Homo-oligomer: A and B are copies of this chain.
Amino acid sequence: MSRPLRQRVYFQLFGSLDQHGKLTITNKFVVTVIVISVVVAVLSTEPTLIRGHYDTLILIEIAFGVLFLVEYIARIWSIAERPGPGGAAAKRWRFATSFIGIIDLAVVIASLFPFLVTSASILRIVRLLRLAELMQFGRFSLALREIAKAVSERRYDVFVTLALTGGMILIAATALYWAESEVQPEAFGSIPRAMWWAVITLTAVGYGDVVPVTALGRIFASFIALSSIALIAIPTGIIAAAFSDGMQRHRSQHEAARLRHERHHE
Contacts and interface: CB of A to CB of B under 8 A. Distances in A.
Interface of A: 38, 42-43, 45-47, 49, 121-122, 125, 128, 132, 135, 139-140, 142-144, 146-147, 150-151, 154, 156-157, 159-161, 163, 165, 167, 170-171, 173-174, 177-178, 189-193, 195-196, 199-201, 203-209, 211, 218, 221-222, 225-226, 228-249, 251
Contacts of A248: 245, 248
Interface core residue of A49, A121, A234 (most chain B CB under 10 Å): A234
A157 B132 contact: no
Given A140-B156, A207-B208, A241-B243, 14 more contacts: A45-B192, A46-B190, A46-B191, A132-B167, A135-B160, A147-B234, A199-B222, A203-B228, A204-B206, A229-B235, A233-B235, A236-B236, A236-B240, A240-B244
Given A204-B203, A207-B211, A167 B128 contact: yes
A234 B245 contact: no
B232 A170 contact: no
20 contacts: A42-B192, A46-B189, A46-B190, A49-B192, A122-B174, A143-B156, A146-B157, A165-B226, A195-B222, A196-B218, A203-B229, A205-B225, A207-B208, A209-B211, A236-B237, A236-B239, A240-B243, A244-B244, A245-B248, A249-B251
